[in-house]
Amino acid sequence: MTETLYVGNLPWNTSAEELTAFFGEYGEVLSSRIITDRETGRSRGFGFVEVGDGDAARLAQDLNGKDFGGRPLTVNEAKPKQF
């Protein structure tokens, strides 16, 4: 099983690889993605990190507010998409 973290307040030039490397220092990262604008391809300033089951709550608590590229991250467990 996996869990997904929402990561907000990212610097505009953050790559998925940088996000994986940063979160990888604190736990096992299965994947990460930066959400981009469909029209421009520019980062929207947030992304998602997929982690091993049971790590999400700990990582959210440990990394929420942590400095990343000069900005305090917003990290919490991702909510299922509502339609």
Domain-located, residue 33:
yes
Say whether pTM exceeds 0.85: yes
Number of domain units in the chain: 1
Domain-located, residue 39:
yes
Report mean pLDDT in 10-residue bins for the chain, 83 residues: 94 96 95 96 96 91 96 94 74
CATH number at residue 50: 3.30.70.330
pLDDT of residue 69: 94
Domain-located, residue 63:
yes
Domain-located, residue 83:
no
- For residue 70, what are the domain limits? 2-77
Sheet holding 29-36, edge to edge: 29-36, 43-52, 2-8, 74-77
